[in-house]
Structure 1
Amino acid sequence: MKQLTTTSNHLLLLFLLCLATNLDLFAQGQKVSGTVSEPKGTFLPGVSVLIKGTTHGSITDYDGKFDLEIPSGTKDPILIFRYLGYKTQELPVGTKSVFNITLIEDAEQLKEVVVVGFGEQKKENVTGSLETMDKKLIKDRPVTSTSSLFQGTMPGVVATQTSGQPGADNMSIIVRGSSSINSTPALIIVDGMPAEMNNINPQDIESMTVLKDAAATAIYGARAAGGVILITTKRGEDGKVSFGYNGYVGLQTPTKEHQFVGAVDYMEMRNQARVNDGALPLYTEDQINEYRDGTKQGANWRESILKSSALQQQHNLTVSGGSDKIKYYGSGSFFDQEGLTANTNFQRYNMRMNVDAKINDRLNTHFRTHIANSSRTQPTRSVGSAFYNANIYSPVDPVKWDNGEWNYVRNGNPQRWLEEGGDRISDLMYTQMMLGADYKIANGLTAYIDYNMNYMHDRGTAFNNQHDYYGANGDLVKSEPNWYEDYNASNLYSGLQARLDYEKNFANHYIKGMIGYSHESKTNNNGQMTKYNYLTNSIHVIDGGSMNPTDWRMDGTASEWAIQSVYARLNYAFKDKYLFEANVRVDGSSKFAQNNRHGVFPSFSAGWRISEEGFLKDADWLTNLKVRASWGQVGNQNIPYYDWTATLATGSAVIGDQGVSSVYYDKTANPNIKWETKETTNIGLEGDFFGRLIGFSVDVFKNRTNDILMNVPVPPQFGYDAPRVNAGVVDNNGWEVSLRHNNSIGEFQYFVNLNMFDNRNNVVDILNTGPWIEDDGRVFTDVGAPMKSWYGYKSDGIYQTDEEALANTAHYELTNGRIKAGDIKLIDSNGDGVIDGDDRELIGDPNPHYMFGINLGGSWKGFDFNILFNGALQRDVVLLNEAAMPFALQATPHEWMKEKAWPNTNELPILREDFTVNDPGRYFSDFWVQDGKYIRLKNVTIGYTFKQSFLSKVGATNARLYVSGDNIWSSSSLWSPTVDPEIDNGGRGSSYPQVSVYTTGVSINF
C-alpha cells in the first residue's frame, strides 16, 4: 500500500509539472478576421481557428465569420483551420488581416469502414443494424475484462456484472434482450473465428462491432439468435519496429457495503419482535447492558471476512512493425488481482502474435496465435456461502471465543473456512491458432481460406482441511472431515472456412457477392475424483486418502458436436443511393436428428440514402441521411448436445461393503426436435449533419422466436426427465436511440455520446402448460406476460390498528400467527372472500427498461478525459427472505430496518419472529417489489500525453500518464443505500460484492 501511495504521489507531481510547462501568456497584438466556407460557398459554423503552438484561438459563428487577436511577440504566427470531415489547413499570417478560407472535404474521414460478418463495408452503405464501439473507449480505459467495455457504451447491449470476485467477474452480455426461454448468448467472433471473449487481453483489441438484426447476423445462422460480437485484434503496420509498454496498478474497494445492526440493537429489536408475537423477550436488560457498556464485545461477521481494499495490476508489452512484404504485431501481458476476502485471487498471462505476409501480388497469408494461461484460487467452500452466513449470524455470537478457539455457528464459521478451510485452485490453459490465405484469382475475384483451432484445458485441485471446533469451555463441538478433489476438463474446437468474394463497379452500379463453406467441430471431456478422510492435511494427492469404497467418488463425461454450413451474400448499390443486401445460410448441426438437422436462415435488407437525392444534394448542412429496413431469420442451437436421443447415465452405490456401478436412462428421446428460429424485422434511420458535427441513429425492431424447445411437465414418479419439444413462442420488441456530437473549440476537442434503448418480451405460447411457477412460487412464466416475471399478491399498505387487522384475519389461510397492526394488508384480488394462492398475479418485471449510457470526453494541449455514466430508468427488484423477515429466519437485520420498521414508518412492516403475511417466502407480494432505477458513474479517466519535443529527447514516440476510476458512484431508489443497484440477490448481500477500482498507469512507445 505504501508503494502504491508513493507511486500515486509521483504521478500527481508529474501531472502538475506538465500543466505548469504548458501554460502560455498572451498580450495584445495584430487582429485578423475572415470567413470559412466549403467549396460550394456555404459558410461553415463552428470551425476551429487556432494560432499554431498556442491555446489562443476562436471559432466561426453561424455565418462562418471569425475574429482573432494575435498576441504581440508571437513569432511567425500560423493559423490552423480545423473542422470535422474537412482537411485541416495551415496558413501563415504575415501582414494579412483578412482571411477568406475554403475548406476541402476529406473523403477518407467521411467514408468510415466498419467490420461486418466475413468482411468490411463502408458504413454509409450498411443496411443492417450494427454498432461499432468508439475506439477511444477501447484505447484509453484500463479494464480487467473485455466484457466490461460494453456497459453503457452501445445501445441495445446489456452487460451485467453480478460479482467482483477475482476470476469470476465476467459479465453476461445480452443483445436486444431475451427472446427465448433457453439461453441465447451473443456469438463471439475474434479475427473471423469463434472464441472466448474474456481470454482476450483488452490491450490487443483494435475494434469491436455488435451485429443486432438478422440482416447483419443471418450470415452466422445457427448461433446468431443472441446477436454477434465481432472483435478484431491489432495488426502490424509498415515502418520500423515499435515497442510499447502499458501498465497500471489499481486499488479495489467494495462499491456499497451492507450494514447490519450491532449486538445491542439486535437484542433490542429481537426482543421487540418476540413481544409483537405475544412471546417473552429473549434477552434481559442486564444481558443487553453487558454489550452496551463494553463488558462483552459483539461481532461484525461481515467485516470479519471482508477486507477494506485489495490491489490489482496489469502490465502489457507490445512489438510491431513491418514492410510492404510482411507485417507483425506481438504482445505479452500479465494481470494479477487480489481478492477482498482471504484465499481469493486471480492471475492471467496472455501472449499474442499476428503476422501478415504478402507472398506476391496475388497471394497473401496470415497467421494468428493467442495463448492465455490463468490461475484462480478460491476457498473449497463457496465465497457466496461465506457472505450469506456472515450476513445472517447474530452479532451476539463471537467469531472466536475468549480462549482463541473458533466459534461454530449453525453452518460453520465463514472466517475460518476462508482463512483455514483449504484451497480450490483452477489452472486454465487456452490456445488459439489460425492460419489463412487469400488469393486474387482475377480483378474483383478473391478466394479466402482459414483454418482455426482452439484448445482449452482446465486442471483443478481442491483440498478441504480437517478442523475441529471447540466451545468456550474447551469441549469439542464439531469436527469437519478433510477431502481432496482432482478434476480435468478439456475441449478442442476446430474450424475450416473457405469463401469466394466478387466485387465489381460499372457505371452507376456496384455489386459484391460472396459464397462460402465452413465446417466446425468440438469435443469435450472431463473427469473428477474425490476422496475423503485423509490422515493429515499435508498430503494433497489422490491416493493419500482412505481406500474404503464409501470414501471415494468418480465422475466423468464426454461429448462432441459438429456443424457444417454454406452461406452466401449479395450486395447491390445504385449510385451509392439505393442499397440492397441478401444473405442466406444453411446449417446442419449434430444437435438435431437427421430428419431435422438442417436449418435455412435468410435475410433481406434495403437502404435509401436520402441525402444523395437531388432535392437534398445541395443541403450543405446535411452530410448523410439514410433509412434502412430489414427482415430475416436466425437460429438457436444453444441446447444440450443430445436432446434428440435417449441418453444413458452412470452412477455408483455401496451394497454391503462393496462399491457397484450402475447404468440408467436419464431422459427420454424426441427425434423430432428442430431449430428454434428467431424472425426479426428492423427499421432504422441514421444521419449526420455539418460534416458529422452531429449524428444520430434510431432503430425500431420486432422479434419473434418460434419453436422454442421446452420440457413437457411429467409427474415426479416418472423417474427421469421428459423429452423436450418445440412448443414455445416469445415476442421481443423494442427501440434504440443514439445521439453523438463531436467538435473542437480552439485546441479543445470534445465529444458527447448518448444512447437509450428498451425492449419488452412477451410469452405468446408455452404448450398450454402454463403458468410455469418457479423459485418458491415467486417467478412466473405464462402467456401474455414477460418471461420469469415476479408473481405474488397485491398489497394495500399496512394495517394501522389491531381492530382493522382482526376484521380481516379470517380471509387468510395462515399456518402460523394472526394478523395484527403493522402487518402487510394483502388484497383479495379475485373477490372470493379468501386470500390464498388463487389471488396471485403478475406484480413485477425483472428485466431492466429504458437503459441508457452517457459518454463524454475531450482533449486539450495533451490532457484528455473520458466520463461514462450508465443506468436504467425502470427496473423491478425485490427484497427477499432474510432481508425482509430476519428474525423469522434467524438472521440479522440491516441497519436501515431499525428506523423504517412500523410504527416508525409505513415503509416496512412490524418486526416479527413468526412467519406471517409479512413473509415474502410464503406471501410474496408487491410490497417487497422495489423501484430499482439507478444511475452509475461507471468510469472516469484522465490522462496527459507528453509533447513530442520532450519525447524526442528520450527516444520515445508517445507517452501518456493516466488515472482512472471504475464504479465510482451510484444513486438508486432502493430502500437500502448500501445495496449495489446492479446486483440483485434479494437485497441479502449473499454474493461477493461489486468493486470500485482506482488505477494509475502509464503507456509509452519507442
Structure 2
Amino acid sequence: MPIQGRVMNENGEPLSGVSIIEKGTDNGTYSAADGSFSLNVKDENAVLVISNVGFVKSEVSIKNNRTPIILLATLQNNMEEAVVVGYGKQKKISVTGAIASIQTKELKQSPAANLAVSLAGRLPGLTAIQKSGEPGRDITQLFIRGQGTVNVQSPIILVDGIERDLKSIDPNEVESVTILKDASSTAVFGVRGANGVILVTTRRGKSEVPEIGYSFQAGMQDFPNLIKPVNAFDYATLKNLALTNDGLSPAYSDYALERYKLHDDPLRYPDNDWNKINLKKYAFMQRHNLTISGGSKFAKYFVNAGYLGQGGQFRTEPHQPLGYDPAFKLDRYSFRSNIDLQLNKNLSAFLNVAGYVEKVNSPWGATGSNASLYIIAFGNDMPANVPGPLTQKGEILVGSAGQWSQYALINRSGYVKTTSGNITSSYGMEQKLNFITEGLSAKAMVSFDITPVNNLSAARGYESWMQVIDPNLKGADGKDSIYNVPSNAGVNTPLSISGTRSFTSLSNVQASVNYARVFNKHSLSSLLLFQQQSLIINEQLPFNSRGFATRWAYNYDSRYFFEFDAGYNGSEQFAKKRRYGFFPAVSGAWVISKEKFLKDASAIDLLKLRGSYGLVGNDRLGGQRFLYLDDVQLTGGGYSPSLGLGQTVQINLLKNQNLQWEVAKKTDLGLELGLFNSVTLSVDLFRERRDNILRNRGTVPLMNGLPISVLAPVNIGVVENKGYEVELDYQKKFDKDWSFLAKLNMSYARNRQLYADEPLLPPDYAYRYRETGYRIGQQFGYLVDKYFGSEQEIQLSPVQNVGGHTSRPGDFKYRDITGDGVVDQRDMAPILFSSVPEYSFGAALQASYKNFDLSILFQGVTNVSNYYMFRGTNSVSNYVARHLESWTPERASKGLPIEYPRLTTQANPNEIMNNFFINDASYIRLKNAEIGYNLPARMLSRLRIRGIRIFANGFNLMTWDRLPTKNFDPELTGDLSYPIVRIYNFGINVNF
C-alpha cells in the first residue's frame, strides 16, 4: 500500500535525509530535499518509525492516514548524540573528560574573516584575543584555560585529525569545533597536549538526497575605535603650554592661534583631520559559497567552493598613474571535497582534499623594513596643523624636514604582496574485522599538505616638500608668501623589486585498531593508534614526531563509566635517550539520573558527576632548536697579545643533554545537570601544576667563567594554574511559532609562578621577586599618589629618583613604599593583572517566531590589564582630548579635573611604567547580532527550492570598557597594530 507524506521540524521547515522505516521490518526510505517521502508498506495498519540525529524519535500510525504530515521535535539534551574526541567519537553520555563544542550554525552567524575570531565568547574555557584587524594578517591568540607556561601557550589545532591552521578554514566547511581541556581528553596527544586541543570537523555528505546551497554575503567595515588627535588650535595651544612649562618660548604667536581658531587662512594655517583624509568611511567585504552534498548507498560527498574578499580602510590613489595597487586587501579562494565510499559491507574508504589560494596586499610602508607598521603610528603623530598631504603639483607635502607622511607611506612607498597557497589531502580506509571478533576494526590514514608562500616587496623612493611661510615677502593679498622647498634628498624612483619564497610540507601517517562491543549491560571500547608526522619548513631539518596513543573505556548500564587514556610520544627536540615520554590519564563518571532512586524523577533529565587526573606534555618550547647540542665556532682569526696570530674558539651555547618536555599534572571535577528537557548546567573545577618548564637560569654566579647567555635553558620552572567553568543553557519551544534559547558561559583561570630560578632582590626592595609568586606577565611599575603642586611640596617629599629625571610641579608624586625617603626601583610594585584575562564570558540569546529568527552574542573579559603608553595616550608627538585637561597651576588651584600630568617637550618622570598608564582592559562587547527571515516553504516548493533565508548581521558592534580614553580598542596593546574592525553585513542563503 503506497504512503506519501512530509517530515518537518517544529518550525514547519522541511527535513531532508530523515529515516522512515516500517516498524518491525527493514522496509524504509529517506525524506527528500523538500521533506517529502513515499513508501510502499506491507500492512495497512503499519506504524512508521521516524528518526534523525538531534530529534526525538517518533512513531506514527498510518491507519486511516495515508498522507501523514510529521513534525519532529528537537532533542534538547541528546545523550546519545555522538561528539568528537581525540582520534574518534563517543556518545555524549559516555564522555568522562572536559570538552565543549559548537556547531556550524553558530559559526556561520559571524561575518568575521578569521574563524578563530568567531570562537570568542562561545565556548567555556576558550579565550580568544584579537590583536589586529588587517585583511589577511589578522592575528588572534587562543588560550584554553588560561596560561600554564611561559613558553608556547597556544593549543594545537587539528582539522579532521591533522594539525593544520584555523585561519584559512571557511565556516561553511565546518561541521563542529570541539575543545579538549583536561588530561583525560588530551592524554592521547601525549607530548603535545598540555595546552589543550582544538578539533575542527569538516562537513560530510549524509543524505542520499542531493542538496545544493549557495550563500552570498556583502558587508561594510569601519574602525569603531580610532586615536583622534585634537584640532590645530588645540594642538598649538597645548604645544605652547608644554614649552612654557619647560621655561621655553612659545612656538605659536597669538596671531597664529587666532588663525587656527577662526579657520580663515587654511593655506597657511591648516586644520587637517588626517583620519578623514587618509581613511575611507567604510571598506567593502564579500563572501560567496557554493556547497553540494549527497550521494548513494555506495558513495557520499560534500563539496564546497568559496571566495572571500576583504578591503582595507585606508584611502589609496588609483592604480594609474602609480602603476601598482597600494591598498590593504585580501582575496582568498578556497575549495574542499570530502568523499566517503562504502566499498563493501565491511570496507569503507574516504578521500579529503582541500586547498586555498590567498593574495594579501598592503602598502610597502606598512610592512617594509624601515617603516614596519608605522602607517598607523605616523598617522597618530601628525598634528592637525601640518600642511598637505600634497602640493599643487601632486608631490608629498610635510611640515618639517625629514618628517614622515602617512599619506606617502600608504600611496608612494610601493607595495607588498603575499601570495600563498595550500593543498591538504587525506586518504584512508577502515576495515571491519568481525570475522576475528565482533566489534573489531582497523583504520589507516595518510595525509600530505603543502604550503608555498611567495612574498613580493616593491619599494620606491619619493620626494617630499616642505612648506615655507616667508614674512619678508608678501603676496598680492598682502599676506606672507608661501613656497615649497625640498624636505628630503629623495626623488621619485622606479619600484625596486625583491622577494622571498618559502615552502612547507607536512606528512602524517596514522594506523589504528578499534574495538567496541556490548555484552548485556557491559560496554567496552578501546583504541590503539600509531602516528608519525614530519614537518619540513624550507630547507630546515624536519620537525619529526612519532608515538602511540591508546584509550580503554568501560561502562556498566550507561551508569558507571571508567576510562584510561595514554600517549607515548617522541620528539626530535630532545637528545636520543630522552626523546620518548609516557603520558597517562584516568577518568570516570557516574550518571546518577540512571539510578533507581531518580529514575522516576521526571524533572531530571540528567545528573552526572565526572572526574579525571593525568599527565600531559608540551614540547613546543620556542626559541632555538636542538638545545642538547653545543654551539661552538671558530672566529675569523686575528692578533691576540698573549697568543699571537691565530683563531679563537667562540662559545655560543653550552648544551643541555637533559632537556625534556614540560609536564602538566591536571585534575578536573565536573557536574552535568539537565532539567525539564530545557535546562542544562555544566560546572567544572580544575587545577594544573606545570613542571619542567624550560627557563634560563637566573641564579648562576658570575664566577662560573661564562655569561649566563651561553648556558642552555633548563627544565626548572613551575607554574600552578587553577580555576572553574560554568555553562548554563535554557532552550524552550513554547508552541509551533515561538522558540527561545539562552546560553551563558563563564571561565576563570588564575596562574601563579611557583619557581622561576629568579635572583632574590636585596632586602631593601619592597617586592623582592618580579616573577616568583606572581602571574605570568605580571606588570610592575610605580604607584602614583597624586600630582606635585609646588616646588615646596617636592622638597618636603621623598626624593623622586625615577629614570634620572628631576620632578617639577605637575609631575606624578610616586609612593615611597619602602619608606626610605627615596623613590626608585626598590619601590616598584605589582600593578593590576597580566595581558591575558583571568575571566572570560559569553552570553548568547536566540529567538524565533514563525519564519523570523534573531541571535545576539555578548562577549567579554575581566581581570586583565595592559600598558597603554603609546601614541594617543602619551604627549610625545601629538595630543588628544585628555591632554586638554592636563595639570596646570590654574586647574589645580580651581579644583578642576586633571586627566594628565603637566605637558612637556623634554624627558620627564611621568611617561614610564606606572599605574596611570597600566589600565584595566576589561570589556563587554556586543560581538555578534543577526536577524533573519526564511521565505515560506510552500511558496518555494513549486520552484523546487528547499529554502531561502535572508539575513543581516554585525560583528564587534558595541564595546563597553574601563579605559580612560576611547581612542583605542581594549584588546590592542600598542599603536603599531591595524585597528580591529566593525562589520555590518547582509546575506542570502538559497538551498535546492
TM-score (norm 2): 0.83
- Looking at structure 1, the residues matched to 805 and 112 of structure 2 have their Cα atoms a distance apart, in angstroms, of 51
Is residue 995 of structure 1 aligned with residue 968 of structure 2?
no
- Paired residues for 1:258-297 under 5 Å: 258-294=227-263, 295=265, 296-297=269-270
Describe the shift of the 1:567–1:304 C-alpha distance in structure 2 as closer, same or farther (beyond 3 A).
same
Equivalent in the alignment of 2:309: 336
How far, CA to CA, are the matches of 2:732 and 2:886 in structure 1?
A: 49
Structure 2 residue 439 is matched with structure 1 residue 444: yes
Cα displacement (A) at 1:87: 5.6
Q: Secondary structure at the match of 2:823?
A: coil
Cross-structure match for 2:526? 513
Distance 1:652 1:937, change over 3 A: farther
Distance 1:734 1:807 in 2: 47
Q: Name the structure 2 match of 1:785.
A: 774
Structure 2 SS opposite 1:179:
coil
Choose from 822, 825, 830 the match for 1:837.
825
Mean CA deviation greater in 809-818 or 723-732: 809-818
* One-letter code aligned to 1:842: P
- How far 1:864 sits from its partner (Å)? 1.0
Counterpart for residue 767 of structure 1? 757
2:880 corresponds to: 894
How many angstroms does 1:874 deviate by? 3.0
For 1:578, the equivalent position in structure 2 comes to 560
Q: 1:487 — aligned with what?
A: 500
* CA 1:513–1:110: 2 relative to 1, 3 Å: closer
Distance in 2 of aligned mates of 1:683 and 1:320: 41
Q: AA paired with 1:707?
A: N
Moved more, 297-306 or 327-336: 297-306
Instruction: Label 1:876 to 1:578 Cα distance change in 2 as closer, same or farther (>3 A).
Output: same
1:956 CA drift (Å): 0.8
User: Is it true that 1:200 corresponds to 2:169 in the alignment?
Assistant: yes
Aligned residues: 861
Match of 1:619 in 2: 601
Q: Which residue of 2 aligns with 1:406?
A: 396
Retained in 2: the 8 A contact 1:167–1:376? yes
Corresponding residue to 1:828 among 816, 820, 839: 816
Residue-by-residue CA offset, 1:146-182 (whole Å, 9 max, x unaligned): 1122111111101111211100114111111111110
Match of 1:319 in 2: 292
Q: Quote the residue 1:908 is aligned against.
A: 900
8 Å Cα contact 1:819-1:916 kept in structure 2? no
CA distance in 1, matches of 2:600, 2:514: 36
Alpha-carbon displacement from aligned partner over 1:486-510 (angstroms, at most 9, x marks no partner): 1011111101001111111113211
Say which SS state the counterpart of residue 216 (structure 1) adopts: helix
**Residue 708 in 1 paired to residue 698 in 2?**
no
Which of 924-933 and 348-357 deviates more? 924-933
Q: How does 1:394-543 map to 2 (within 5 A)?
A: 394-400=383-389, 402-404=391-393, 405-408=395-398, 410=402, 412-442=404-434, 443-472=438-467, 473-480=483-490, 483-525=496-538
Residue type matched to 1:941 in 2?
Answer: E
The 1:270–1:474 alpha-carbon spacing in structure 2 relative to 1, beyond 3 Å, is: closer
Match of 2:591 in 1: 609
Across the aligned residues of Structure 1 and Structure 2, the Cα RMSD in angstroms comes to 2.9
* Partner residue in 2 for 1:676: 662
Distance 1:110 1:814, change over 3 A: closer
Alpha-carbon distance in 1 for matches of 2:559, 2:537: 49
SS of 2:151's partner is coil
Distance 1:334 1:651, change over 3 A: farther
Deviation at 1:351, TM superposition (A): 0.7
> Do residues 804 (structure 1) and 786 (structure 2) align?
no
Task: Check the 8 A contact 1:187/1:226 in 2, yes or no.
Answer: yes
Secondary structure of 1:240's counterpart equals coil
Distance in 2, matches of 1:780 and 1:167, equals 41
Task: Say whether residues 1:306 and 2:269 are aligned partners.
Answer: no
Which residue, 559, 568, 582 being the options, matches 1:600? 582
Which amino acid in structure 2 is aligned with residue 792 of structure 1? G
Deviations 1:443-487 (A, max 9, x none): 200101000111111011101012222333444332457643210
* Aligned-partner SS, 1:859: strand
1:664 & 1:386 partners in 2: Cα distance?
41
Q: Which amino acid aligns with 2:943?
A: V
Alignment check: 8 A CA contact 2:228 2:872 kept: no
Tell me if the contact between 1:460 and 1:486 (Cα under 8 Å) persists in the aligned partners: yes
Q: Is the 8 A contact 1:797 1:906 kept in 2?
A: no
Secondary structure of the structure 2 residue equivalent to 1:969:
strand
Compared CA separation, residues 247 and 649, structure 1 to 2 (3 A): farther
> Which residue identity lines up with residue 691 of structure 2 in the other structure?
N
Question: Which residue does 1:73 correspond to in 2?
Answer: none
Structure 1 residues 949 and 754 mapped into 2: Cα distance closer, same or farther (>3 Å)? same
Q: What does residue 137 of structure 2 align with?
A: 168
Q: Is the 8 A contact 2:758 2:769 kept in 1?
A: no
CA contact (8 A) 1:118 1:192 kept: yes
Which residues of 2 match residues 954-993 of structure 1 at below 5 A? 954-985=943-974, 989-993=975-979
Q: For 2:740, which of 742, 750, 755 is the aligned residue? A: 750
Aligned mate of 1:696, from 681, 685, 688: 681
Are residue 185 (structure 1) and residue 185 (structure 2) matched?
no
The counterpart of 1:646, out of the listed 630, 637, 652, is: 630
Aligned-residue offset at 1:344 = 0.8
Alpha-carbon contact 1:238-1:324 (below 8 Å) kept: no
Instruction: Work out the CA distance in 1 between the residues paired with 2:609 and 2:250.
Output: 71
SS in 1 for 2:910: coil
Distance 1:835 1:208, change over 3 A: same
Structure 1 SS opposite 2:419: strand
Query: Judging changes above 3 Å, is the alpha-carbon distance between structure 1 residues 104 and 844 closer, same or farther for their aligned structure 2 residues?
Result: closer
Judged with a 3 Å threshold, the aligned counterparts in structure 2 of structure 1 residues 593 and 90 are, in CA distance, closer, same or farther, namely same
Distance 2:815 2:378 in 1: 34
- What is the aligned partner in structure 1 of residue 51 from structure 2? none
| Structure 2 residue runs without a partner (length 5+) | 1-11, 13-53, 65-71, 317-326, 368-372, 468-482, 638-647
User: What are the Cα deviations for residues 21-71 of structure 1, in whole angstroms up to 9, with x where unaligned?
Assistant: x9xxxxxxxxxxxxxxxxxxxxxxxxxxxxxxxxxxxxxxxxxxxxxxxxx
Distance 2:800 2:722 in 1: 40
Are the equivalent residues in 2 in contact too, given 1:184–1:636 (CA < 8 A)?
no
SS of 1:909's equivalent in the other structure is: coil
Alignment of 1:59-74 (within 5 A): none
Instruction: Tell me if the contact between 1:702 and 1:734 (Cα under 8 Å) persists in the aligned partners.
Output: yes
Query: How far off its partner does 1:792 sit?
Result: 1.0
Task: Please report how far the alpha carbon of residue 883 of structure 1 lies from its aligned counterpart in structure 2 after TM superposition.
Answer: 4.1
Deviations 1:797-821 (A, max 9, x none): 223444323322634356344331x
Residues of 1 paired with 2:464 and 2:249: CA distance?
32
**Relative to structure 2, which stretch is displaced further, 399-408 or 731-740?**
399-408
Task: Give the aligned residue type for 1:614.
Answer: K
Counterparts in 2 of 1:88 and 1:864: CA distance versus 1, 3 Å: farther
- Counterpart AA for 1:1003: N
State the 1:135 CA deviation. Answer: 4.2
The answer to whether the 8 A contact 1:770-1:782 is kept is: no
1:917 Cα offset (Å): 2.8
* Deviation for aligned residue 1:382: 2.2
Shift of 1:836: 0.8
Question: C-alpha displacement at 1:694, in angstroms?
Answer: 0.4
Partner of 2:20: none
Task: State the Cα deviation string for residues 384-427 of structure 1 (Å, max 9, x = none).
Answer: 31111111223222233654431355452221121121111111
2:79–2:92 contact (8 Å) kept in structure 1: no
The answer to whether the 8 Å contact 1:333/1:351 transfers is yes
For residues 635 and 934 of structure 2, what CA distance do their matches in structure 1 show?
63
Q: CA deviation at 1:790?
A: 1.0
Indicate the larger mover: 287-296 or 630-639.
287-296
The one-character-per-residue Cα deviations of 1:742-770 (angstroms, maximum 9, x if unpaired) are 00222111100001111111111112347
Q: CA deviation at 1:925?
A: 1.7
Q: Which residue of 2 aligns with 1:567?
A: 549
Shift of residue 258, structure 1, vs aligned partner: 1.7
Give the Cα separation in 1 of the matches to 2:108 and 2:652. Answer: 50
Aligned equivalent of 1:946: 935
